[in-house]
Protein backbone atom coordinates (compact mmCIF):
# COMPACT_ATOMS: atom_id res chain seq x y z
CA UNK A 1 0.00 0.00 0.00
CA UNK A 2 1.31 3.45 -0.97
CA UNK A 3 1.88 6.07 1.67
CA UNK A 4 -0.43 9.04 1.55
CA UNK A 5 0.92 12.04 -0.31
CA UNK A 6 -1.03 14.87 1.31
CA UNK A 7 -1.28 18.21 -0.46
CA UNK A 8 -3.64 21.16 -0.28
CA UNK A 9 -5.15 23.55 -2.77
CA UNK A 10 -7.62 26.42 -2.43
CA UNK A 11 -10.63 26.54 -4.74
CA UNK A 12 -13.16 29.30 -5.17
CA UNK A 13 -15.87 29.97 -7.69
CA UNK A 14 -19.31 29.80 -6.23
CA UNK A 15 -20.94 29.48 -2.88
CA UNK A 16 -18.58 27.79 -0.46
CA UNK A 17 -21.43 25.54 0.73
CA UNK A 18 -21.61 24.09 -2.78
CA UNK A 19 -17.85 23.86 -3.23
CA UNK A 20 -17.46 22.20 0.16
CA UNK A 21 -20.06 19.52 -0.66
CA UNK A 22 -18.55 18.78 -4.08
CA UNK A 23 -15.08 18.14 -2.72
CA UNK A 24 -16.27 16.31 0.40
CA UNK A 25 -17.86 13.78 -1.95
CA UNK A 26 -14.56 12.72 -3.55
CA UNK A 27 -12.30 9.76 -2.83
CA UNK A 28 -8.87 10.94 -1.78
CA UNK A 29 -10.10 14.21 -0.28
CA UNK A 30 -9.28 14.05 3.42
CA UNK A 31 -10.55 17.42 4.67
CA UNK A 32 -12.36 20.42 3.23
CA UNK A 33 -12.07 23.70 5.10
CA UNK A 34 -14.86 26.11 4.22
CA UNK A 35 -14.35 29.86 4.48
CA UNK A 36 -12.89 32.85 2.71
CA UNK A 37 -9.55 33.10 0.91
CA UNK A 38 -7.55 36.22 0.06
CA UNK A 39 -4.80 36.42 -2.51
CA UNK A 40 -2.78 39.53 -3.33
CA UNK A 41 -3.02 42.75 -5.34
CA UNK A 42 -6.49 43.33 -6.75
CA UNK A 43 -7.52 39.96 -5.30
CA UNK A 44 -6.45 40.75 -1.73
CA UNK A 45 -10.06 40.87 -0.52
CA UNK A 46 -11.62 37.73 0.92
CA UNK A 47 -13.79 35.62 -1.39
CA UNK A 48 -15.82 32.48 -0.64
CA UNK A 49 -13.66 29.39 -1.12
CA UNK A 50 -12.46 26.12 0.36
CA UNK A 51 -9.11 24.57 1.16
CA UNK A 52 -8.99 20.96 -0.02
CA UNK A 53 -6.55 18.57 1.67
CA UNK A 54 -6.12 15.57 -0.61
CA UNK A 55 -4.01 12.50 -1.28
CA UNK A 56 -2.35 12.88 -4.68
CA UNK A 57 -1.96 9.12 -4.92
CA UNK A 58 -5.75 8.79 -4.94
CA UNK A 59 -6.93 11.94 -6.71
CA UNK A 60 -4.51 14.06 -8.74
CA UNK A 61 -4.59 17.85 -8.83
CA UNK A 62 -5.63 17.91 -12.50
CA UNK A 63 -8.79 15.96 -11.63
CA UNK A 64 -9.61 18.34 -8.77
CA UNK A 65 -9.25 21.30 -11.14
CA UNK A 66 -11.37 19.63 -13.81
CA UNK A 67 -14.09 18.92 -11.25
CA UNK A 68 -13.85 22.49 -9.97
CA UNK A 69 -14.44 23.87 -13.47
CA UNK A 70 -17.36 21.49 -14.01
CA UNK A 71 -19.15 22.42 -10.78
CA UNK A 72 -19.13 26.23 -10.92
CA UNK A 73 -19.57 28.89 -13.58
CA UNK A 74 -15.93 28.89 -14.64
CA UNK A 75 -16.66 30.67 -17.93
CA UNK A 76 -19.07 33.37 -16.73
CA UNK A 77 -18.34 36.86 -15.49
CA UNK A 78 -21.08 38.24 -13.28
CA UNK A 79 -21.63 41.04 -10.77
CA UNK A 80 -20.78 38.83 -7.78
CA UNK A 81 -17.27 37.79 -8.91
CA UNK A 82 -15.67 39.67 -5.99
CA UNK A 83 -17.61 37.48 -3.55
CA UNK A 84 -17.35 34.36 -5.72
CA UNK A 85 -13.93 34.67 -7.36
CA UNK A 86 -13.22 31.85 -9.83
CA UNK A 87 -9.79 30.75 -8.66
CA UNK A 88 -7.31 28.04 -7.90
CA UNK A 89 -5.26 29.23 -4.90
CA UNK A 90 -1.79 27.71 -4.80
CA UNK A 91 0.78 27.39 -2.06
CA UNK A 92 3.98 26.98 -4.08
CA UNK A 93 5.59 27.62 -7.45
CA UNK A 94 5.32 23.98 -8.52
CA UNK A 95 1.54 23.98 -8.09
CA UNK A 96 1.31 27.40 -9.78
CA UNK A 97 2.96 26.13 -12.96
CA UNK A 98 1.06 22.84 -12.88
CA UNK A 99 -2.37 24.46 -12.31
CA UNK A 100 -1.77 26.93 -15.14
CA UNK A 101 -0.80 24.08 -17.47
CA UNK A 102 -3.95 22.14 -16.51
CA UNK A 103 -6.14 25.19 -17.18
CA UNK A 104 -4.43 25.73 -20.56
CA UNK A 105 -5.06 22.10 -21.50
CA UNK A 106 -8.70 22.27 -20.42
CA UNK A 107 -9.15 25.56 -22.30
CA UNK A 108 -8.22 23.80 -25.56
CA UNK A 109 -11.26 21.55 -25.24
CA UNK A 110 -13.66 24.30 -24.12
CA UNK A 111 -15.69 26.37 -26.55
CA UNK A 112 -16.00 29.16 -23.97
CA UNK A 113 -13.15 31.09 -22.38
CA UNK A 114 -12.33 29.79 -18.89
CA UNK A 115 -12.02 32.73 -16.49
CA UNK A 116 -10.64 30.73 -13.56
CA UNK A 117 -7.31 32.22 -12.47
CA UNK A 118 -4.39 30.69 -10.62
CA UNK A 119 -3.54 32.89 -7.64
CA UNK A 120 -1.19 32.71 -4.69
CA UNK A 121 -2.84 31.77 -1.40
CA UNK A 122 -2.27 34.53 1.17
CA UNK A 123 -4.85 34.24 3.95
CA UNK A 124 -7.83 32.20 5.11
CA UNK A 125 -10.75 33.10 7.35
CA UNK A 126 -12.77 29.98 8.27
CA UNK A 127 -16.55 29.97 8.23
CA UNK A 128 -18.57 29.88 11.43
CA UNK A 129 -19.03 26.35 12.74
CA UNK A 130 -22.82 26.63 12.27
CA UNK A 131 -22.47 26.75 8.48
CA UNK A 132 -19.63 24.27 7.94
CA UNK A 133 -20.56 20.86 6.54
CA UNK A 134 -23.70 22.61 5.36
CA UNK A 135 -24.90 20.01 2.89
CA UNK A 136 -24.15 17.08 5.20
CA UNK A 137 -26.22 18.75 7.94
CA UNK A 138 -29.02 20.08 5.69
CA UNK A 139 -29.44 18.00 2.50
CA UNK A 140 -33.19 18.63 2.36
CA UNK A 141 -33.10 22.40 2.82
CA UNK A 142 -34.31 24.31 -0.26
CA UNK A 143 -30.85 25.80 -0.98
CA UNK A 144 -29.26 22.35 -0.96
CA UNK A 145 -31.96 20.81 -3.13
CA UNK A 146 -31.85 23.69 -5.62
CA UNK A 147 -28.10 24.27 -5.92
CA UNK A 148 -25.96 21.57 -4.32
CA UNK A 149 -27.85 18.38 -5.21
CA UNK A 150 -27.81 19.18 -8.96
CA UNK A 151 -24.04 19.78 -8.81
CA UNK A 152 -23.53 16.46 -7.07
CA UNK A 153 -25.75 14.81 -9.68
CA UNK A 154 -23.70 16.30 -12.52
CA UNK A 155 -20.53 15.21 -10.75
CA UNK A 156 -21.91 11.68 -10.42
CA UNK A 157 -22.71 11.58 -14.15
CA UNK A 158 -19.09 12.31 -15.06
CA UNK A 159 -16.98 11.26 -12.07
CA UNK A 160 -18.98 8.55 -10.25
CA UNK A 161 -15.83 6.42 -9.93
CA UNK A 162 -14.21 9.27 -7.97
CA UNK A 163 -17.06 9.69 -5.48
CA UNK A 164 -17.60 8.25 -2.02
CA UNK A 165 -21.00 7.36 -0.61
CA UNK A 166 -22.29 10.72 0.51
How far CA 118 is from CA of 91, 93, 95, 101, 137, in Å, comes to: 11, 11, 9, 10, 31
The pLDDT of residue 79 is above 90 = no
CA distance 96 to 18: 24
CA distance 48 to 104: 24
CATH class of 6-162: alpha beta
The pLDDT of residue 80 is above 80 = no
The answer to whether 119 and 43 are in contact (CB under 8 A) is: yes
126-155 pLDDT tens trace: 999 999 999 999 999 999 999 999 999 999
The pLDDT of residue 156 is above 80 = yes
pLDDT higher for 2 or 42?
42
CA distance 63 to 68: 8
Hey, which residues are catalytic here? Answer: 15
Specify the pLDDT at position 14: 85
The pLDDT of residue 166 is above 90 = no
99-125 pLDDT tens trace: 999 999 999 999 999 999 999 999 999
Structural domain boundaries of the chain? 6-162
30-68 pLDDT tens trace: 999 999 999 999 999 999 999 999 999 999 999 999 999
Specify the pLDDT at position 1: 57
Specify the pLDDT at position 83: 82
The alpha carbon torsion through 96, 76, 73, 114 (nearest 10 deg) reads: -40
Amino acid sequence: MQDKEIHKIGLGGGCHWCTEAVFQSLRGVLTVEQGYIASEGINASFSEAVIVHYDRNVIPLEVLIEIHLLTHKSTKMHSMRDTYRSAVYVYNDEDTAFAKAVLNTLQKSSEERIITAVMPFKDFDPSREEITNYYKKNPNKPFCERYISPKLGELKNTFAHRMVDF
